[in-house]
Amino acid sequence: MSDDTTTSVNVIAVSFEEGSSAYEALTNLKELESQDQIGMRGAAVVVRDETGQVLVKDQVTDESFVGTATGGLVGLLIGILGGPFGILIGGATGLLIGSLFDDDDADDTESVLAEISKSIRVGHESLLAEVTEQSPEVIDTAMVRLGGTVIRRAADDVEAEVAAAEHAQREAKRKARKELLHARHDKHIEHIRARIAELMAKLHRHQKVEGASS
pLDDT in tens, 91-101: 433 344 334 44
Q: Is the pLDDT of residue 103 over 50?
A: no
Domain assignment present for residue 65? The answer is yes
Identify which has the larger pLDDT, 63 or 157.
157
Using DSSP, state whether 48 is helix, strand or coil.
strand
Strand stretches in the chain, DSSP E: 8-15, 39-48, 54-61, 126-133, 149-154
Is residue 132 within 8 A of residue 141, CB to CB? The reply is: no
Using DSSP, state whether 30 is helix, strand or coil.
helix
Q: How many structural domains is the chain composed of?
A: 1
Domain assignment present for residue 142? The answer is yes
What domain range includes position 61?
Answer: 8-172
pTM equals: 0.67
Domain assignment present for residue 177? The answer is no
pLDDT by residue (tens digit) across 141-152?
Answer: 999 999 999 999
> With bands split at pLDDT 50, 70 and 90, how would you rate the model's confidence at 12?
very high
Range of lowest pLDDT (11-15, 44-48, 178-182, 209-213): 209-213
Domain assignment present for residue 186? The answer is no
